Amino acid sequence: MSGKRSFRRFLGGVALFALPALAMAVAVPGEKAPDFSEVDAKGETRSLQDYKGQWLVLEWFNKDCPYVKKHYGSGNMQALQKKYTDQDINWLTVISSAKGKQGYLEPAQALQVAENHNLSASAPFLLDADGSMGRAYGAKTTPHMFIINPQGEVVYAGAIDDNDSANPAVIPKSSNYVAAVFDAALKGKEVAVASTRAYGCSVKY
């Protein structure tokens, strides 16, 4: 029995030792972006390598989340997408909801939702039903925003703006972190805020 208890203690120590390594497997500003390869709603594979040498925004999405509805129902997210994709910045919208969970969409459903949400400025939804991409980036909420520079480094991770209310009426008075990053970075200036606490609904892994 004492040998079994010792073995259990040993396993517990290994598990505790392994946790920090697992926790580090996320997108950290100033470090290389985690690699990904996911199929979008049209059946096309999108990978990080496809955007080598280019700016890329990753946005986590759940159509049923009140915070997503805040930014899409007001047109705020679509306006942001258009403003920066018009400047040759790539934008991918990711659904990491597992099958049977809130926000999960089959490809045909995802295309319909993309049309309903006027997602024309973004590539079709990436369907990350197994959660591998979301977990690699540490995506916790919808929305959760990540910005990757042409060198493949994460320059921003966090909330879309500084007001965590679900009421769209607060948007005009909110400071948009994504816009602030690009307003600085595209002029060769230092990004003032590289990381914030994301707010919204939990990603439904």
Asked, as a colleague might, if the bond just before 143 is cis with ω within 30 of 0, I would say yes
Mean pLDDT confidence for 143-158: 98
Instruction: Give 168's pLDDT tier (boundaries 50, 70, 90).
Output: very high
pLDDT, tens only, 38-47 = 999 999 999 9
Instruction: Give 25's pLDDT tier (boundaries 50, 70, 90).
Output: low
What is the greatest pairwise CA distance in the chain?
A: 68
Mean pLDDT confidence for 69-75: 97
What predicted TM-score, i.e. pTM, was given to this entire model? Answer: 0.87
Using the structure block, give the residue that is written with the tokens 């926000």.
Answer: 103
Residue 190: count other Cβ atoms within 10 Å of its Cβ: 8
Could you tell me which CATH number the domain at 26-202 has?
A: 3.40.30.10
| Cα dist from 138 to 27, 47, 80, 131, 200, whole Å | 6, 17, 23, 10, 14
Q: Is the dihedral of CA 8, 13, 16, 22 positive or negative?
A: negative
- Specify whether the CB–CB gap between 57 and 80 falls below 8 A: no
